[in-house]
Structure formats: C-alpha cells, structure tokens
Amino acid sequence: MSYTFHTSQDQRMMLEAIGAASVDDLFAGIPAEIRLGRSLALPPAMSELELTRHLSELAARNASAGQKVCFLGGGSYDHFVPAVVDALASRGEFYTSYTPYQPEVSQGNLQVMFEYQTMICQLTGMDVSNASLYDGGSAAAEAVLLCMSVTKRPCKVVTAASVHPEYRQIIATYFAHLDAELVTVGTPDGVVSLDELAGAVDEQTACVLLQQPNFFGCLEDVAAAAELAHRHGALLALAVDPVSLGLLKRPGDLGVDVVVAEGQGLGTPLLFGGPYLGIMACREQFLRRMPGRIAGQTVDRRGKRCWVLTLQTREQHIRREKATSNICTNQGLFALRTAIHLAVLGPQGLRETAELCLQKAHYACTRITAGKRLTRAFAQPVFKEFVVRDGDGEVRELLQRAYEAGFLAGIPLGRWYPELHDCFLVAVTEKRTREEIDRWSDCLLQTED
C-alpha cells in the first residue's frame, strides 16, 4: 500500500465537506483543561537516512538467539523451525487473507484451520480443538472460564505455584471484576503436593489448573490431580508444552478435561516475545462452551468435500451477553505455521525432537551441577527445563557474565518467586549442541572458587 500524506488543500477540502473551519474545531468538544496545550516532547524530525541509522542503532541493542547461545525458557523456546514453514506461511494466499466470513471464497484458510484442529486433537488426545487463541496465557484464562461455565460454579479456581506466574497473573486480571476466587497452592518441592491440593479443592471449586511440565520444568502427577478434581465435581485444565507430547502420555489419556498450550514451540521463532499462538482443546461435551472458532468438514451440493465455520461463538457473531468469550480474533497465521510444522515432523519427528530435548537437558543438568556452587533446586523428573540454585546467591551477576561471554544462560526466578532469588531456570532444546552445552557450563562453572 502506497503512503501519501494530506496536503493543506486536502485538509481544507475535508474541513469544508464536514462544515468545520479548522482542525482545532474537531476537538471543540474536549474541555480545554484536559488538553495538552503544548507540542509533544519529541526530538526534531529526521531525514530518512538519519532515521534509518537511528533505528538500526536501537535495534542493535537487542541480543537475539541468533547472536548468542540461548538457554532461555519459561514459555518461549529456541526450537528449530524448518524452512518450509516460512516458505508456505508466507504465500500471499495465506499471508494477505482475512477472516473467513464467506466459506465459498475461504476454502484454503478453512481447510488449514480444520487440519490444525485435527492435529491438535491427535496430539492432546482430546475430542475437539478451536482455531485459536492469542497465546498460552490467554488460553489458560479462557480454559478457567470454560470450566466455570460448564460446572456453573463461579466461586473458586484452584491452581499451583508451579503454573506459569504470568498465566496466573492473567487469570487474576480476569477475576478482578468477577465474583471468583483464585487459590494458589504452594510448591516448595517443585511440584504440587496432592495432599495440599486436596485440602484446597472443595464443592465450590469449578476448576483445578496445573501445568505439565510445570514452570520449573518438573513433571506433575496429572492423573491423580484429575481424579481428585472429579471427585469434587470440578474439572481439570492442564497447560502443556506441546513438544513434550512427543514423549509424555497425552492429557486426554490422563483424565484431563481441557488442554491449553503455548504453541510458539511448534513452528514460530522467539520473535522477542510474540505474537504467539494459544492452543485449546477439550472434551466433546464442552464444545459449545469453547471460545473462538471451530472449522468443520462437510460436502457441498455436488457432493464434494468442503469446509465451513461450524461454530463461532464470539460476540462479533452473536449477542454480546450470549458469547462464550470476548476473544474476537484468532492467530490464524500462527495456527497455519503450527499445522505445517506438525505435518513436516510427523509423529516420529516430534518424538525425536522431544527425545533430543530430554537427553540434552539431562546432559546439561549433569554438567552444570558437577561443581559445588551450582546445584539442582528440585529433585524431580524433568523434560527440557530445570532450575539451578546458585550457592553464592549472585544469580544476576552470574548470568550477566555469561551474557557477556555469548550466552543467554537462563532466567532469574526472583522476580516471580522471592524464595527462589538464588535460582535460575534453564531450557535446553534440540538446537543446542554438546559443544554449546559444554562451553555454557564451563562459563558458569569457572566462577567457582
């Protein structure tokens, strides 16, 4: 789209057309006391050459995973993205298309949505999937609301401190103006205690929300938690790492009612934190409670296979008070990327990716804890992430030195967990080589006395 600015003559013509004498007349309804009354405090205008140089200098302050060896996790991971994902997702038919309001001219997008949903159901072991939500955090919040709607218990949701702290913050924001309580069970050993969880769940509980692997990388006893929730008439929502499902048992086989996930690890680069993809799948009986859209397969009047939007329970399509959610779009391009990524990997490729993450994470954990200063914080089974404790309590200084040496070495946990101020979270994906892991561990271990 070309850019053309409005000339003084353009402005005069528009003002005459609407009967205004000046641009200031357009703001006459705003009281003078709340207007700024001065020019914005902006630096002088730059030429295109100057602006390009300035923005390049600003961009150079960022360090990407392509410039440093990345061991960051906590919801965003440096997984390998095959070139075919970018090649297909960048095609104009997908990249420039809009919401598929008219199925007869949106068959390509609808087919992608249907195939995405199918693969998510196969991956999670659930009956239905939507397409899709903003990110893992919003998906977790929507799962909680779905459980409250199904159980008709709007009073209480029980979660664990091992669930991503930002997911819990999002849910708390949703609850700020709802008559609902978010109860968080502590996880001092890295996983939730089933006894403490049982003490928090009662007949007022609509939902139990856990994460697998959890924020610390540890594996929870999901099946036992599902049985506990169901015993009290509550539902179990589970946030998962979709890559882990190449190895771990599917949530649907463990009694989980609603599955959500951050889909970034399936075909989307880190992108400095987003935009990402929110995955949601659930049991068939909750179908009409799901937010977003669901694409379906049918046949046209000639008997040929085609696709339609089967459900679109958004406020944009039905009366606001009848909508299941105020989510009013989907991350269609990122659902497309995930569908391509899963199709390219296939079941065996996903399993191999998960195995590489598992093996390399355990090798990294063994290497980093070989000395005396750094130890594992939790003695629990892990998949690709684990928490390291710094015996000297100088986590930020340690990570800064590693950064200067070329490593994004981990995430300090003190910002979310004051009791873990001396710990940091490490993630190891299939991209990390033995040589990178050895250099990373040597860099951190060389600071020991």
Q: Tell me how far apart the alpha carbons of residues 205 and 183 are, in angstroms, rounded to a whole number.
A: 10
Provide the pLDDT for residue 314: 57
Provide the pLDDT for residue 328: 57
Provide the pLDDT for residue 64: 87
Q: What is the DSSP letter of 184?
A: E
Beta bridge pairs of residue 164: none
Q: Which H or E run contains 379?
A: none
Q: Could you list the pLDDT tens digit for every one of the 449 residues in the chain?
A: 567 788 999 999 999 999 999 998 999 899 989 998 888 999 999 999 999 999 999 999 988 888 999 999 999 999 999 999 999 999 988 888 777 878 888 899 999 999 999 999 999 999 999 998 999 999 999 999 999 999 999 889 999 999 999 999 999 999 998 989 999 999 999 999 999 999 999 999 999 999 999 999 999 999 999 999 999 999 999 999 999 999 999 999 999 999 999 999 999 999 989 899 999 999 999 998 998 889 999 999 999 999 998 887 655 555 566 666 666 566 889 999 999 999 999 999 999 999 999 999 999 999 999 999 999 999 999 999 999 999 999 999 999 999 999 999 999 999 999 999 999 999 999 999 999 999 999 999 986 55
CB contact at 8 A, 208 and 147: no
Q: Which of 106, 198, 99, 206 is nearest to 152 (CA)?
A: 206
Q: Which of 150, 254, 124, 281 is nearest to 207 (CA)?
A: 150
Provide the pLDDT for residue 285: 96
b/e map of 227-264 (b: 16 or more CB within 10 Å)?
Answer: ebbeeeebbbbbbbbbbbbbebebbbebbbbbbbbbbb
Say whether 343 sits in a helix, a strand or coil.
Answer: helix
Q: Which two tokens stand for residue 19?
A: 């009967």
- What is the amino acid identity at position 164? H
Q: Tell me how far apart the alpha carbons of residues 289 and 189 are, in angstroms, rounded to a whole number.
A: 35
∠ at Cα 167 (112, 380), nearest 5°? 100
Q: Tell me how far apart the alpha carbons of residues 155 and 353 are, in angstroms, rounded to a whole number.
A: 41
- What is the amino acid identity at position 139? A
- Strand duo 128-129 + 411-412: pairing: unpaired
Question: pTM for this one?
Answer: 0.89
b/e map of 60-74 (b: 16 or more CB within 10 Å)?
Answer: eeeeebeebbbbbbb
Rounded to the nearest 5°, which phi and psi values hold at 291? -80, 170
Q: Which two tokens stand for residue 200?
A: 């928090």
**Across 136-193, where does the E strand assignment appear?**
156-160, 181-185
Asked whether the CA dihedral 250, 256, 259, 265 is positive or negative, the reply is negative
Q: Which two tokens stand for residue 315?
A: 């406020």
Provide the pLDDT for residue 311: 83
Q: What is the DSSP letter of 329?
A: -
Cα dihedral 242/246/248/252 (nearest 10): 60
Place of tokens 């030195």: 401
b/e map of 156-184 (b: 16 or more CB within 10 Å)?
Answer: bbbbbbbbbbbbbebbeebbeeeebebeb
Say whether 229 sits in a helix, a strand or coil.
Answer: helix
∠ at Cα 422 (418, 425), nearest 5°? 90
- Strand duo 205-212 + 128-129: pairing: unpaired
Q: What is the DSSP letter of 162?
A: T
∠ at Cα 247 (85, 438), nearest 5°? 80
CB contact at 8 A, 131 and 116: yes
- Domains of the chain (ranges; CATH) run 69-79+346-445 (3.90.1150.10), 83-342 (3.40.640.10)
Provide the pLDDT for residue 87: 96
Provide the pLDDT for residue 155: 86
Provide the pLDDT for residue 279: 97
Q: C-alpha distances in angstroms, 259 versus 125, 211, 215, 405?
A: 9, 10, 16, 39
Query: What does 23-62 look like in DSSP terms, one character per residue?
Result: GGGGGTTS-GGGS--S----PPP--HHHHHHHHHHHHTTS
Q: Tell me how far apart the alpha carbons of residues 129 and 282 are, in angstroms, rounded to a whole number.
A: 6
